[in-house]
Amino acid sequence: MDSNYWDEKYSTEEFIYTKVANRFIVELCGPLEVAGTKRAIELAGGEGRNSVWLAKQGWHVENVDFSQKALDKYLAFAKEEGVAELCSANCADALKFVPAFSPVELAVIGYLQIPEAQLEVATRRLASYVAPGGYLVGVWHSRDNLVSGFGGPRDPDVLPNVETITRALEGTGLTIEVLENREGQIQTKEGLKPSTTLVLLAKRGA
Ligand SMILES: C[S@@+](CC[C@H](N)C(=O)[O-])C[C@H]1O[C@@H](n2cnc3c(N)ncnc32)[C@H](O)[C@@H]1O
């Protein structure tokens, strides 16, 4: 799925992924304490539900996404929420992006559903911008969701598992603190159904 696909998907007033920050991002990023500046990159941040939430927690955030439509909605949302001065946008491909500021104390990646080999490249690239003492937080529909879960894409190649992310972080200097499947529920037309989400918290030593 290229950027035209995503631009078209985002060409509606409605916020496809809502304006509510993802609960795993909130859970993992909320308690993080860093010394000094609070700079963050969100990779594939789309319409910015997580970036705006991070800005409200005092982070200076750059949302990197290859959909300009999504980024336009994000910047308008940030203004609406009174955090425009903390929010910037970078329209770029996850495999090649160069952030406006780095290193950062926090890097976030949420639901970037691209082929596994590309996800490893994008994750390693994002990890390379994490400062000493900084964190990388990730969330994805898990490949294990195909077995007994609902929601998310059904193509295993765009669904990472623990092995995918472990491999992606090898040699990056980051230490994995949390990398696990979380069992939860998702709303479907037939009611609440089980859903498996892969979550990551990794840290670069100070
Ligand atoms: C499922 S949406 C998730 C958006 C956001 N993380 C959220 O949870 O609300 C996936 C996002 O990845 C972006 N994306 C997909 N492939 C990309 C790529 N190669 N480079 C940059 N962004 C990409 C899309 O534009 C889209 O905004």
pLDDT score of 187 more than 90: no
Predicted pLDDT of residue 42: 98
For ligand 1, is residue 150 a contact (CB within 6 Å)? no
HSE-CB for 87 with a 13 A CA cutoff: 27
Domains observed in the chain? 3-204 (3.40.50.150)
pLDDT digits (tens, 9 = 90+) for 69-112: 999 999 999 999 999 999 999 999 999 999 999 999 999 999 99
Does residue 29 have its Cβ closer than 6 Å to ligand 1?
A: no
Centre of ligand 1 to C-alpha 113, Å, is: 7
Three-class SS state of 56: helix
110 lines ligand 1 (CB under 6 A): yes
Q: Is the CB of 59 under 6 A from ligand 1?
A: no
What CA–CA distance (Å, rounded) separates 149 from 155? 13
